[in-house]
Amino acid sequence: EIPTTDVSTAASTVVLGACPDTPPKLVGPLQVDFFTRRTLDEVRKELKGSLQEGGRYKPTECISKHKVAIIIPFRNRYEHLVHWLHYLHPILRRQQLDYGVYVINQDGDGIFNRAKLMNVGFVETQKYDSYECFVFSDIDLVPIDDRNLYRCFDKPRHLAVAMDKFNFQLPYNTYFGGVSSLSKAQYMRINGFPNTYWGWGGEDDDIYKRIVFRGMSISRPDSVIGKYKMVKHKRDLHNEPNPKNPDKLGHTQSTMDQDGINSLKYTVKKVEKDVLYTFITVDVDAPK
């Protein structure tokens, strides 16, 4: 006879408190290099124990106040993606965020549209969780100080303030490119980002103008904490500088109410959940 054991144990309830405002395990300046060759599989092995399917994480030691969707506009930058995942997941974990990583992949080989992909990310990520904060990051930018918090602030935030390629300075004062964060309310107040900046250039300045025209200003970390390394690369195919884009910037105030989250049209082609990220392929109706 097989002895029966009583497997019912008293439910142990562990009450978690809120995470502290300043995450206790941050280390400050980090070593970052892009010479080490890494494969996606190696990075998966490194990180999979701590992540949930779809590139999700939340702290087990406390309840995070910051539910953040990290949105990456993407096409054909797989090598950069591997570096980004290798460095960012541990940083975001130390920052005690409740977060998910969403790669918004432009389908086809039409002209690239960074800002439209970020709008798609804003809409699509809310189907996965009740995100209140959105961090928009280029795939080739890795912060070299983990005190640069990937969360939202009472003003729209520009995070990539001191990039190596700009000599660890802002290229100009109103620069809002690279990495930024906006709360849902801040984002809605500016009608999201423009959908009409095809090809390289201008869209980040348009976003900055939207913020100002809606009576907000931006916040930034200081230039020590806000340091970044960029993976060096050649200009991408189908993302040439578009000479029409700079001219559009003179009209942002009148176009921003018609061109944004309220006029966004796209089709999701495919969603793939990896342990490191959720990969969403979208048709943005790109001109050739």
Site for ligand UDH in 20-59 (CB under 6 A): none
Position among 200, 213, 263, 264 found at the interface with ligand UDH (CB under 6 A): 200
User: Rounded CA gap, 189 and 220, in Å?
Assistant: 19
DSSP conformation letters of 162-212? EEGGGTTB-SSTT---SEEEEEHHHHHHTTS--S---SBSSHHHHHHHHHH
User: Rounded CA gap, 285 and 111, in Å?
Assistant: 9
235 binds ligand UDH (CB under 6 A): yes
Q: Bridge partners of 229?
A: 142
CB of 199 to ligand UDH, least distance (A): 9
| Residue 151: Cβ-neighbour burial (10 angstroms; 0-12, 13-18, 19+) | buried
Q: Choose, from 200, 216, 274, 283, the residue flagged as catalytic.
A: 200
Position among 87, 112, 176, 228 found at the interface with ligand UDH (CB under 6 A): 112
User: Rounded CA gap, 25 and 51, in Å?
Assistant: 18
Position among 42, 109, 222, 236 found at the interface with ligand UDH (CB under 6 A): 236
CB of 165 to ligand UDH, least distance (A): 8
- Check if 200 is active-site: yes
- Check if 259 is active-site: no
User: Rounded CA gap, 191 and 186, in Å?
Assistant: 9
- Check if 204 is active-site: yes
Q: Which is nearer to ligand UDH, 179 or 225 (CB)?
A: 179
Site for ligand UDH in 123-142 (CB under 6 A): 138-140
**Catalytic amino acids?**
138, 140, 200, 203-204, 230, 233, 235
